[in-house]
Amino acid sequence: MATSSVSKGCFVFKPDFKKRKISVPIEDYFKNEKLESEDSKLRFETYHLLWQRMKSETEQLQEELNKNLFDSLIDFLQKSHSDFQKNSGNWGCQMKLREIPTAALILGVNVTDHDLIFRSLTETLQNNVTPYIVSLQAKDCPDVKHFLQKLTSQLMDCCVDGKSKEVKSVKTPKKTNYSMDSLSSWYMTVAQATGPKMTIKKRTTSSQWQFPPVVIILKNMESFSTKVLQDFIIISSQHRHEFPLILIFGIATSPVIIHRLLPHAVSSLLCIELFQSLSCKEHLAVILDQLLLTAQFPFKISKKALQVLTNIFLYHDFSIQNFIKGLKLSLLEHFYLQPLSVLCCDLPEAKKRIKFLSVNQCENIRRLPSFRRYVEKQASGKQVALLTYDTVLKEETQLLLEDLHVYHMNYFLVLRCLHNFTSCLPKYPLGRQIRELYCTCLENNVWDSEEYASALQLLRMLAKDELMSILQKCFEVLHSSTTKQLGSTTQKVKDFLTQFQNLDADSKEEEDACGSQSKGLQKTDLYHLQKSLLEMKELRRTTKKQTKFEMLRENVVNFMDNLVRSYLLPPESQPLHEVVYFSAAHTLREHLNAAPRIALHTALNNPYYYLKNEALKSEEGCIPNIAPDICIAYKLHLECSRLINLVDWSEAFATVVTAAEKDANSTISEEMNEIIHARFIRAVSELELLGFIKPTKQKTDHVARLTWGGC
């Protein structure tokens, strides 16, 4: 993966290994010349294993998230179709318009994710409702003819797929001649031929229809042209009886688009029901929760890298797929760049691997800044041992890794507890989402921040029932974990809860106690009374007349504060955190959020940046005459206004190019002149090709500049 290429800024290394058909084994790509590590193969395998685990986890998550939506969709399809099949003899059904059942599926603006949803939807429907499922895209259907053509061919494909060869022999309409007529007659014959067979073969409950419905999925309905949709709906509504059609509209924006695309005459042919998928922000929250905010996977992401990923998601595309790809890229980069990432695996395996670490790798560990900090804190005897004996080092590393593991276990539990506390506060001082809190905690000591202080202040004002529900949630979080480390904490939270519950009973007694105390004051003289009253007043001010509840609340908040201070240390403070944390945010940004304009400008303005030729090194503002011609022309054009005079430009170009020779030889030969002229013309046409200038008719011998800024 060495990039000797010029395009440093925008090269995406697709980690799609399987598709490359090269004889070199994939692991070899993992050899990083700079690092000279012999563990590249092992690292690659670890990466692969880990990614498989993460991938299957995400897929499972997405399946669960979509389940609700799919279930209601299937319900709708089955119901509307069985209605259609059942009561055709009824008076009402005879009179009613034959509406085409239509599901409007609102999926959100992240169009790139839709494919996945549609794919799994198709699969689910195939298993549960009907084998006839067609999904169409706007770009395939510029007119009704193509629409029907695509529909027919896909429909026949999905029939041939599962069924026997006999079906194939059922007469198919001629290639050129696709019409709804032929389609519906084809459907009748096929459904009759395969219908009964299918019911036996295919599954359980509701698919015992003689004529299973034909489901057409229109992906991204916004981009379909109105005419095609209208015509198709009118045509198919006329064939409703012999061709049981169900439409699914994939909508990215809002269902109002249906009314915008279809006039009333057409929309009155549809029986539209709305289905809404999970919002992509919630989706992201779930993915983050299950992939990163857990000790299940050893791999972690630093604050900056996480921010790059979430920012791309929130600011740019809302695409879960892209987010997961970004995660994959960071995983890959981590294993590629960090030689010690061999240890980024489950704890028992990591311990085993430590034993076989080479001398080089031991040296790598010693070089880690976090490890060095750790060593400096040790006693001098141990320092020497750690730095000289590999065996000592290995033992110590094992211990440290174990500590790191425990640290993570506790970290996420406490983080969740803290989130429970802060997420109900007004104005959300520490963020509404747990990812925001996580980012703050990753960066530095969270308790030093102003937001944390204000959050604590707000917590001290919470009402009892709120506090109790929070504690209950915390208890559930802590209780759900299997580890024993925070056992005492769990117990403590439980104690707090019981104390709160007992508070009601206690409060009565407390009042009584107050009353008896005041009685005790009665038999004294005036002076003493005054004095004691003053004392009491003072006392009340200092204790602020704390009730039992307030004391308990204070205790809870302090307890939480202590938890945070002892467990939510930033990962940088942990020795060996480099092993599991990926922190190269800038590579991530370069790969995922490329800036072509900036890269182009840098390449032309400062060729040294990419070419790494020492001669090209120049100060700001001056143009070296040995730079590529296009760079010189580009730099000169930056100084011009909207229209550029070609003659002036060419003269300036010639001056720059001949700048060095001028000292030696003031006259330039005719031939040289011509060459320079040709070079200029080539540079200008290259600039035109890149889209920086264009010819104009406003003024003769001028070109128009298409960029702004610079001068």
Partner 1 sequence: MSHLEGAVLCREAQVSALQALFGERHHFSFPSIFIYGHTASGKTYVTQTLLKTLELPHVFVNCVECFTLRLLLEQILNKLSRLNSSEAECPTEVTCETFNDFVRLFKQVTNTENLKDQTVYIVLDKAEYLRDMEANLLPGFLRLQELTDRNVTVIFLSEIIWEKFRPNTGCFEPFVLYFPDYSIGNLQKILSHDHPPEYSADFYAAYINILLGVFYTVCRDLKELRHLAVLNFPKYCEPVVKGEAGERDTRKLWRNIEPHLKKAMQTVYLREISSSQWEKLQKDDTDPGQLKGLSAYTHVELPYYSKFILIAAYLASYNPARTDRRFFLKHHGKIKKTNFLKKHEKTSNHLLGPKPFPLDRLLAILYSIVDSRVAPTANIFSQITSLVTLQLLTIVGHDDQLDGPKYKCTVSLDFIRAIARTVNFDIIKYLYDFL
Q: Could you say which residues in the range 303-332 bind partner 1, by CB under 8 A? A: 312-318
**In whole angstroms, how close is the CB of 697 to partner 1 at the nearest point?**
15
Q: Which of 117, 155, 252, 332 binds partner 1 (CB under 8 A)?
A: 252
Nearer to partner 1, 337 or 600 (CB): 600
**Residues counted in the chain:** 711
Residue among 44 and 318 whose Cβ is closer to partner 1: 318
Nearest approach, Cβ of residue 177 and partner 1 (Å): 7
Question: By CB neighbour count within 10 A (0-12 exposed, 13-18 middle, 19+ buried), where does 680 fall?
Answer: buried
Minimum distance, C-beta of residue 237 to partner 1, in the bound complex (Å): 10
Q: How far apart are CA 158 and CA 127, in angstroms?
A: 13
Q: Check residue 89 for interaction with partner 1 (CB under 8 A).
A: no
Distance of alpha carbon 615 from alpha carbon 458, whole angstroms? 62
Q: Is 263 in the site for partner 1 (CB under 8 A)?
A: no
CB nearer to partner 1: give 377 or 597.
Answer: 597
- Contact, 77 vs 103, CB < 8 A? yes
Q: Cα(40)–Cα(42) distance, rounded to whole angstroms?
A: 5
Strand order in the sheet with 643-645: 643-645, 702-705, 693-695
Q: How far is CA 495 from CA 30, 465, 522, 556, in A?
A: 53, 16, 39, 10
Residue 689 interacts with partner 1 (CB under 8 A): yes or no:
no
What secondary structure, in 3-state letters, does 329-364 show?
A: HHHHHHHHHCHHHHHCCCHHHHHHHHHCCCHHHHHH
Candidates 108-116, 156-164, 356-364, 458-466; binding stretch for partner 1 (CB under 8 A): 108-116
Q: Alpha helix locations (H) across 165-225?
A: 165-169, 180-201
The C-alpha atoms of residue 7 and residue 3 are separated, in whole angstroms, by 8
Under rule CB under 8 A, residue 101 binds partner 1: yes
Do the beta carbons of residue 207 and residue 128 sit within 8 Å?
Answer: yes
CB of 327 to partner 1, least distance (A): 17
Number of residues that bind partner 1 (CB under 8 A): 70
Pairwise CA distance, residues 581 & 299, whole Å: 6
Task: Tell me: does residue 257 bind partner 1 (CB under 8 A).
Answer: yes
Q: Does 143 bind partner 1 (CB under 8 A)?
A: yes
Which region, judged by CB under 8 A, interacts with partner 1, from 17-25, 98-106, 466-474, 628-636? 98-106
Q: Does 427 bind partner 1 (CB under 8 A)?
A: no
Contact flag: residue 80 with partner 1 (CB under 8 A): yes
Applying CB under 8 A, which part among 114-122, 378-386, 528-536, 593-601 lies near partner 1? Answer: 593-601
Which of 206, 253, 296, 658 touches partner 1 (CB under 8 A)?
253
Examine residue 254 and tell whether it contacts partner 1 (CB under 8 A). Answer: yes
Residue 273 engages partner 1 in binding (rule: CB under 8 A)? yes
Report the residue number, 32 or 179, with the smaller CB distance to partner 1: 179
Q: Smallest gap, in angstroms, from Cβ of residue 356 to partner 1?
A: 43
The residue among 302, 390, 306, 332 whose CA lies nearest residue 48 is: 332
One-letter amino acid at 40 equals: S
Write down the least CB distance from residue 649 to partner 1, Å.
20
CA 129/CA 214 separation, integer angstroms? 10
Binding segment for partner 1 among 126-134, 141-149, 329-337, 424-432 (CB under 8 A)? 141-149
Closest CA to 250 of 102, 149, 127: 102
Per rule CB under 8 A, is residue 527 in the interface with partner 1?
no
Compute CA 103 distance to the chain's CA centroid, rounded to the nearest angstrom: 28
For position 194 contacting partner 1 by CB under 8 A, the verdict is no
**All residues at 6 or more sequence positions from 180 whose CB lies less than 8 Å from its CB, including other chains:** 148, 235, 236, 238, 239, 243
Each residue of 14-23: b (16+ CB within 10 Å) or e? ebeeeeeeee
Per CB under 8 A, does 506 bind partner 1? Answer: no
Closest C-alpha among 204, 187, 114 to residue 122: 114
- Residue 411 tokens read as 């970290």
Under rule CB under 8 A, residue 654 binds partner 1:
no
- The rounded distance, in Å, linking the Cα atoms of 568 and 434 is 14
Q: How many C-beta neighbours within 10 Å does residue 215 have?
A: 26
Of 233 and 470, nearer to partner 1 (C-beta) is: 233
Work out which of 89, 92, 381, 515 binds partner 1, going by CB under 8 A.
92
As measured in angstroms, the least distance from the Cβ of 234 to partner 1 is 5
Rounded Cα distance, 74 and 429, in Å: 43
Determine if 691 is a binding residue for partner 1 (CB under 8 A): yes
**Residue of 95, 359, 505, 514 that binds partner 1 (CB under 8 A):** 95
Output 317 or 395, the one with its CB closest to partner 1.
317
Q: Which of 49, 534, 598, 675 binds partner 1 (CB under 8 A)?
A: 598
Residue 104 within binding range of partner 1, rule CB under 8 A: yes
**44, 27 in Cβ contact below 8 A?**
yes
Residues 6+ apart with CB under 8 A from 224: 138, 141, 218, 261
Cα–Cα dist 235/147, whole Å? 12
Nearer to partner 1, 313 or 581 (CB): 313
Minimum Å gap between C-beta 318 and partner 1 is 5
Q: Which of residues 212-251 bind partner 1 (CB under 8 A)?
A: 220, 222-223, 231, 234-235, 238
593 binds partner 1 (CB under 8 A): yes
Site for partner 1 contains 106 (CB under 8 A): yes
Residue 274 lies near partner 1 (rule: CB under 8 A): yes
57 contributes a contact to partner 1 by CB under 8 A: no
Based on CB atoms, which residue is closest to partner 1, 234 or 453? Answer: 234
| Options 142-150, 340-348, 646-654, 663-671: segment touching partner 1 (CB under 8 A) | 142-150
Query: Tokens for 197?
Result: 């067979």
Q: What is the DSSP string of 520-555?
A: TT-SS-HHHHHHHHHHHHHHHHHHTT--HHHHHHHH
Q: Decide whether 56 or 311 has the Cβ nearer to partner 1.
A: 311
271 binding partner 1? (CB under 8 A):
yes
Separation between Cα atoms, residue 390 and residue 150, nearest integer Å: 67
Q: Single out the residue of 19, 91, 427, 505 in contact with partner 1 (rule: CB under 8 A).
A: 91
Stretch that binds partner 1, among 345-353, 472-480, 539-547, 588-596 (CB under 8 A): 588-596
Other Cβ atoms less than 10 A from the Cβ of 577: the count is 22
- Could you tell me which stretch among 75-83, 357-365, 530-538, 603-611 binds partner 1 (CB under 8 A)? 75-83
When the beta carbons of 106 and 644 are compared against partner 1, the nearer one is: 106
Among 156, 218, 229, 280, binds partner 1 (CB under 8 A): 280
144 near partner 1, rule: CB under 8 A: yes
Burial of 381 (0-12, 13-18, 19+ CB in 10 A): exposed
Site residues (CB under 8 A) for partner 1? 10, 79-80, 83, 91-92, 95-97, 99, 101-102, 104, 106, 108-109, 111, 143-145, 176-177, 179-181, 220, 222-223, 231, 234-235, 238, 252-259, 264-265, 267-268, 270-274, 276, 279-281, 312-318, 593-598, 691, 694, 706, 708
